[in-house]
Amino acid sequence: MAIRIGIVGLGKIARDQHVPVIEASPDFTLAAVASRSGGLPDLPYYSDIGDMLAGDDGLDAVALCQPPQVRYDAARAAILAGKHVFLEKPPGATLSEVKSLADLAQAHGVTLFASWHSRYASGVAAAKAWLAERTIRSVAVEWKEDVRVWHPGQAWIWEPGGLGVFDPGINAMSIVTHIMPRPFFLLDGTLSFPENRGAPIAADLTFRDDSGVPITAAFDWRQTGPQTWDISVDTVDGALVLSKGGSVLTIAGELQETAPEAEYRGLYDRFAGLVARGESDVDVSPLRHVADAYLRGARVVVEPFED
């Protein structure tokens, strides 16, 4: 029987990704929407999650697509109502609230899934498998895009908890934490804050793993023209490059064949499997690296940003 799921927060990512994937999935039925921005034809619509949970729609699960600053209360309400919960990335505004939700989900016997869509980019699994058997010399991440293209008019993203440039940057960190065979940690960094914003517009970070391999990451929201989403890994057997957000894989100069892009289909397949097995998946390692950047990175003030 298909899992009856409701979407909370019908913004761009929900309309572009969640809705079409759910509608095409054999595992899910889209049963209701809760949003301040309107609903979808022929579906029950609610203005908030409280009303949706009180409705008579037979929901088994919810997908939470609101900004992270308001997601905790919605997730808590859903868990207490016995619903499985899919968290858009990042899973929360703080590490502590995500830990609280994970404990609550375990206590109530429901699935909690902290989703990282970039891990399901078509080149990532093959990259992870290849690197597992290689000696790595260094890693360089370059994740630069135009915020005016990808997040126009979204004031929440510049507020504390909205992550700023780490909203896309955390996608890169979700890939690197997944493909690297050993954990790594921050050494230092610089976070550039527009003087009129509460979140950074750029960040330059330096990490190392426990064997001394250097890892650098450059995130910037001011890039115009072609966008850059690249991860380069130098190994003794040649360079591995994941480009275009992980969808294109090159190894030792040779382009690798990859499956068609289906990041959100991969997420929902994973969520369905977790629900079937009664398990949760709440990996916060990408968010932990962002928190470490705020803890250890030097703050510099740059020119104001106007949308």
Catalytic residues, which ones? 89
Residue whose entry in the numeric block shows the structure tokens 């550039």 = 192
Amino acid found at 33: V
What would the pLDDT profile of 180-202 be if each residue is shown by its tens digit? 999 999 999 999 999 999 999 99
Tell me what pLDDT residue 265 has. Answer: 97
Cis amide linkage into residue 90, ω under 30° from 0: yes
Taken in order of first residue, the domains within the chain and their CATH numbers are 3-114 (3.40.50.720), 121-258+291-302 (3.30.360.10)
Across the range 78-87, mean pLDDT stands at: 98
27/212 Cα distance (integer angstroms):
44
Return the percent helix, strand and coil in the chain, to nearest 5: 35, 30, 35
Element (H, E) at 140: strand 136-144
Secondary structure of residue 53 in the 3-state scheme: helix
DSSP annotation string for 93-115: SSHHHHHHHHHHHHHHT--EEE-
- Give the CA count within 13 Å in the CB-facing half-sphere of 14: 24
Average pLDDT across the chain, whole number: 96
Query: What are the start-end ranges of the E strands in 57-97?
Result: 61-64, 84-87
Secondary structure of residue 116 in the 3-state scheme: coil
Residue 171 has pLDDT above 90, yes or no: yes
% of the chain with per-residue pLDDT over 70: 100
Secondary structure of residue 38 in the 3-state scheme: coil
